[in-house]
Amino acid sequence: MRPTLRHRIPRSTLVVLLLLTAAAAQGWRLLDRRAAAAWRADVGDALPTLRLEQRGVPVSVALRDLPACSFVVVLSPSCPSCQRLAPRWARELGAGTGKTVMGISYSGADDATRFAAQHGLSFPIFASGGPRMGEVAQSLGVPSVPRIIVMGEGGRIAAMGDSRYELERLKQAAGC
């Protein structure tokens, strides 16, 4: 014998409940997208002071204090695009180029140091790994890597580009 429901829910009520549930889910998705877009950095934004590590030592890095035309390379040692672009960064942003450059790695300090040594990167790379990685990504406003940020006057972003960037285009956009 099959169990029966004593109170049947009308089909129209079920349809309304399903539509309300779907609308609520869609609303949350839109809210999530807006929240994600709200913390993406853009040209003209000021960058914060970040708590990072260099060779395992905690440091505070005030990005707003970087001189105009400084480059901030945001990377991850496990990122295939970062691995492919690292030799170019070493050549075009390395020692002897006269550029002020720093790296921020979405990894641990050991991985960042190993990545720099492996690819001949001469600029300092600060690590944001561990439990603070998401916090640093959100504070920096850069959710994905690689990203190149060119600093402007007053610690504001003058130009930025992603994995398809061209350094010359960024330098021209920033007036460097």
Higher-scoring residue by pLDDT: 138, 132: 138
Q: And the tokens for 27? A: 């609303």
- Inform me whether the pLDDT recorded for 57 exceeds 60: yes
Q: And the tokens for 70? A: 């400084």
- Measuring CA to CA, which residue among 76, 47, 79, 43 is closest to residue 63? 47
- pLDDT attached to residue 161: 85
Cα 85 to its chain centre, rounded Å, is 16
In this prediction, residue 164 has a pLDDT band, given cuts at 50, 70 and 90, of low
- Alpha-carbon dihedral 88, 94, 100, 102, rounded to 10 degrees: 70
The 10s digit of each residue's pLDDT in 66-82 is: 999 999 999 999 999 99
- Inform me whether the pLDDT recorded for 54 exceeds 60: yes
The 10s digit of each residue's pLDDT in 137-146 is: 777 778 788 9
Diameter over CA atoms, the chain: 86
Question: Does domain 49-174 bear CATH number 3.40.30.10?
Answer: yes
The 10s digit of each residue's pLDDT in 94-106 is: 888 888 999 999 8
Q: DSSP secondary-structure letter at 156?
A: B
Q: CB under 8 Å to 85, separation ≥6 — which residues?
A: 146, 163
